[in-house]
Structure 1
Amino acid sequence: MTMGAAGPELKPSKFDGKGDPEAVPRWVEELEKTFEVLGCIEAEKVTLAVYQLQDNASDWWKATRGRVFPEGVAQIWAVFFENFYGKFFSESARERKLVEFMILHQGQMTVDQYEAEFTRPSKFAPRMVEHPEDKARRFRDGLKADIHTQLISVNLRTYEDLYERA
């Protein structure tokens, strides 16, 4: 594993499975940043994630891992992630994130702030943003009326072009 070279600044937080389900996506995001920096392969991602589990979360994994990765089955991050989310990020918490995304509008935020707020919950609404034109339209529709109106006439089709122009 390439993890030994990591400096003290690369310490993803532990996860105990207690408390706020909103902490789940933040923890996963932090882990994924660490994976990228360390250049982890699939099995290392799962190993690192499991190493960070404590208390309830660790007990859950001990009871679940044989079903998720039976003997001889490769450990794949996406499979771990799906099972982990199923357990610790409930359907109702995901629904709240979806609603949050659907009602998001720029309001008093700058375009950059709005873009950051748009990006975060968009992962919980993948069907609403999987097609580039749908993502661009949803972003445009949440902008302030004056910016939105100017962008409709330009007819930009990509999210990146819309963001840049806004």
Structure 2
Amino acid sequence: MESGGRGRGPEGENENEPDQVATAIQRMADLLERMVNQQGQGQGQNAGNPGGNTENNNHDREDRALERFQKFAPPKFVGGPNPDIAEGWLERMLDIFAALGYTEERQISFATFQFEGAARAWWNVIKTKWEREQTPWTWVNFTREFNEKYLPPIVQERREDEFIRLRQGALSVAEYETQFTKLSRFAPDLVLTEQRRVRSFIQGLNVELQEALAAVQVDTISQALEKAQRIEAARGQVKAFQERKRRQPSSSTYTPGQSSKNEPPTKLGRGVGGPRPIGTPGRGNFGRGQAGRGPQRGGQRGGQSSGPRSTCNFCGGNHPSDNCWKQGSVRKCFRCGSTEHLIAQCPKAPHEGTSTPQAGGTTPKPINAGGNRPKVPARVYAMGHQEVTDPSAVIEGTLSLFGVPQTF
């Protein structure tokens, strides 16, 4: 029995041995499969290989982009009949997206994320229509739908007219571009393509900028804006330089007493103290007073110089002003100064028939019996001014007329 039992024992062990080996192999295979799967998951997370983790990565990037968008505090929009509120909300969205630089599809997704109430219900209808008609998710299409819903037609027409009439004028290029972008959404058909947008932008610039951009290849609105700003800056520098040059004083300075280049030179005459303009008191100008007169040749030729004499301020005679016979209400004789008679009846006058030696041997004029000189026809003498070619031939001197010295 024992021998028989021991004989069957090895045979029984041989029958169970294949099952144990197969079980161990299966366990090892399962372990290796789990290890491979773990390694594949790690590589997918690190390298971003295609698989189930790609969708998770896209969601992560979308969440981070939405978080950046929310940091700008975008306003909510609930709709309503007020066009100013709708226009202000759309302008705010444009400002935020200009800073973020997102794609147009993402811009529409984030903008509609701010809809609430009636605006959310309206957008659900528009989104279904776009999916059915396969409308591209572009900002132009979204703006058209938004304007048709929340901006009355009269407001859109007014804004479209403003866009058509928009010109730079006194605005800078940057200010003009801001107005262009603000009003262009009300005329989407005019800026449907980039070429139309560039053409409309250039046509609104000033003429000098249009001429400068005519010879430049411009494909996008950003290129047109950059080149226009560069041209504007260069022209501003030239204008500032010309303004500074115009305000600077000229190199030629004016010296007092120096005549202008276009002014003819002043004619000068001779006299004491240097040259004297013709027309001032001096030789050849007859008048009273001694100022500005030239040297008297008569006094030099006589060889005698008279002492200082006082001149009357009333009549110009050679006597003091307080002893002038012509002052006062009482008439006096001009010969002797008596108040009892005049010069015609002056007893000191020479009588008829007598001869008094005169200077130069001249004969005195006769006097009638009444003591008066015979009357003669009245005569008028006039003195004129005439230029002389030889000044050395002119004789100058001082004569006394009616007791008043005159210079000739």
Q: Select which of 59, 68, 92 maps to 2:121.
A: 59
Gap change, CA 1:137 and 1:17, over 3 Å in 2: same
TM-score, normalized by length of structure 2?
0.31
- Aligned-partner Cα distance in 2 for 1:154–1:47: 40
Cα offset for 1:15? 0.8
Gap change, CA 1:163 and 1:91, over 3 Å in 2: farther
Match of 1:88 in 2: 150
Gap change, CA 1:26 and 1:133, over 3 Å in 2: same
Match of 1:113 in 2: 175
Gap change, CA 1:133 and 1:115, over 3 Å in 2: closer
Q: Select which of 138, 144, 153 maps to 1:78.
A: 138
| Structure 1 segment 1-166 matched on structure 2, within 5 A | 1=59, 2-4=62-64, 6-7=67-68, 9-31=71-93, 33-34=96-97, 37=100, 39=102, 42=105, 45-62=107-124, 65-69=127-131, 77-78=137-138, 81=142, 82-129=144-191, 130-131=195-196, 134-140=199-205, 143=206, 148=207, 150-151=208-209, 154=212, 156=214, 158=218, 159-160=224-225, 161-166=227-232
Quote the sequence identity (%): 23
Query: Is the Cα–Cα contact under 8 Å of residues 17 and 57 in structure 1 kept in the other structure?
Result: yes
Cα offset for 1:101? 1.3
Instruction: With a CA cutoff of 8 Å and minimum separation of 6, indicate the structure with the bigger relative contact order.
Output: 1
- Aligned-partner Cα distance in 2 for 1:56–1:62: 10
Gap change, CA 1:39 and 1:96, over 3 Å in 2: same
Gap change, CA 1:58 and 1:110, over 3 Å in 2: same
Which AA in structure 2 matches 1:77? W
Which AA in structure 1 matches 2:231? R
- Aligned-partner Cα distance in 1 for 2:228–2:101: 33
TM-score, normalized by length of structure 1?
0.62
- Aligned-partner Cα distance in 2 for 1:46–1:154: 37
- Aligned-partner Cα distance in 2 for 1:31–1:87: 17
- Alignment length, in residue pairs? 156
State the superposition RMSD in angstroms. Answer: 3.9
Gap change, CA 1:23 and 1:78, over 3 Å in 2: farther
Q: Which has the larger radius of gyration?
A: 2
Please identify which structure carries the higher helix content.
1
Cα offset for 1:99? 0.9
Which AA in structure 2 matches 1:27? W
- Aligned-partner Cα distance in 2 for 1:36–1:164: 22
